[in-house]
Amino acid sequence: MKSTHMEECIMLDTVGFSVNGIDAKLPKNIDVDGDPSWSTGHMSSLSGKRSFKVKYVKKHRRLLVEGSAAAYFQGHNIVASNDLRMTVLSTLVAVKDQHKVGIPLRDAYELVRGQGVAITRVDTPAMLRVPPGLSPAAVVNGLALAGLRCGINMALYQNESFYFDQNSQTVALKGYLKDVEMERQRKKAKLPESENAAALLELAGSTVRLEPVYRQKYFKAQLQFEDMPPTPADLSPKLLANMFEELLEKYDLRGSLRASLNTDELFAIPRPYRATVALWQRGHDMLSYFDGDRRALAYHWGMLKKHYSIDIRQMPPGQIEVSVQIGEILRAENFVPVPDAIRRDPHLFHTFDVQGEWRNICDRLNLPGGISRAYVDPYEEPYLPHEVGD
């Protein structure tokens, strides 16, 4: 894979971070021996969906935040920015405003520079284009099967999602269909009215979402973060793309997509359900097989779905089986960046003026011109400071 392309494809969903030296009192207090030891709060999007959980530990004067900025600011997380510093900073501003958190100006000065924040979790989804002749569900099932054959600890929800190393305390990978997930949510995302809303939904329905979940122990195991946790300035889009590539290489998924059961797998299913599966995967009309008895068909469907995760109401694998090598599917060019029209749409894509926030803080600190006001973008190469407003 080429990280230059992957940088444009990587997005940010759930992000966790902590900030020390903060004074806060959140809505719900937890007392220990009569002393309020810590407090918690939540933040929800306009649709009412909970997007952030916030915790304050009084003893350490530590604020902890975890959630999806995209879900909070956009009302959806189909797409999102790849800029971690912007994401964390805009989240902090929202938390400060809603929960009246006191952040000293000098601390804010460092926070805008991407310092003073410890990253505890980062989820970096990317959208995978589905090859011609395959359905998104077939790709999910095929990647899950490839993982199983490679000996990966794997959980599969057929035609919907899979998880590799789901309970890992370091890093896990999930692949899923975003449109199916949105449909199953109790509080469904409500997209703002926009001429690009239909294109956004089409993007969710035509791609498979691969999403690594990097936890605190993952960063602790990296040599450069062994003694000091990463800050937003450390985790540039380029580094996040490299992490994504390395994770896929680690799993080393190989083989070709196939969904039909082989003979051994078929004979592991007891009669009479074995014959039902055998006929279904060859494309037979199931209602005709049961002589129009919908009750009998529903009973077989329920048993097979519950005990074998086989859904005979879905398209049979014989109709979707295409010989495609998994290595070809996971090539860099098959990952899709956020389309420009959606990225430029303020109703669907969240951005935050980091330089504007920097100017505001510098003005409030009465900083003179020169190096103290020099705005440095940690993601630029080379890292040359430039005066804001030039």
- Distance from the first to the final alpha carbon of the chain: 37
Close Cβ partners of 84 (under 8 Å, ≥ 6 residues apart): 12, 15, 119, 122, 232, 235, 236, 240
Dig out the tokens for 129 from the structure: 């284009």
Q: What is the pTM of this model?
A: 0.78
> Bridge-partner residues for 173, per DSSP?
164, 212
Structure tokens at 336: 């899709």
Residues 197-256: tens digit of each pLDDT: 999 999 999 999 999 999 999 999 888 898 899 999 999 999 999 999 999 888 777 655
State whether 240 and 201 are in the same domain.
yes
CA distances from 201 to 71, 93, 177 (A): 15, 29, 12
The letter for the amino acid at 311 is: D
pLDDT of the chain, 390 residues: tens digit per residue: 455 899 999 999 999 999 998 888 888 776 555 556 788 888 988 878 889 999 998 888 899 999 999 999 999 999 999 999 999 999 999 999 998 888 888 888 888 888 889 999 999 999 999 887 678 988 898 888 888 777 788 888 888 999 998 888 899 999 999 999 988 876 666 788 899 999 999 999 999 999 999 999 999 988 889 889 999 999 999 999 999 999 988 877 765 544 466 677 788 888 889 899 888 887 788 899 999 999 999 999 999 888 877 888 876 765 444 445 677 788 888 999 999 999 999 999 999 999 999 999 999 998 887 777 888 888 876 544 444 444
Which of 320, 342, 368 corresponds to the end of one domain? 320
CB 1 within 8 A of CB 331: yes
Instruction: Let me know whether 130 and 50 are in one domain.
Output: yes
Whole domain around residue 298: which residue ranges?
Answer: 263-320
* Joined tokens for residue 287: 């209602």
Statement to judge: residues 268 and 252 lie in one domain: no
Model pLDDT, residue 325: 65
Query: Any idea how long the chain is?
Result: 390
State the virtual CA torsion across 70, 241, 208, 201 in degrees, nearest 10.
30
- The reply to whether 208 and 287 lie within a common domain is no
In a domain, 163, yes or no: yes
* DSSP single-letter state for residue 171: E
Domain count, the chain: 2
CB 388 within 8 A of CB 113: no
CB 255 within 8 Å of CB 151: no
Which residues are registered as beta bridge partners of 172?
A: 213
Q: What is the pLDDT of residues 18-65, one digit of tens each?
A: 999 888 888 877 655 555 678 888 898 887 888 999 999 888 889 999
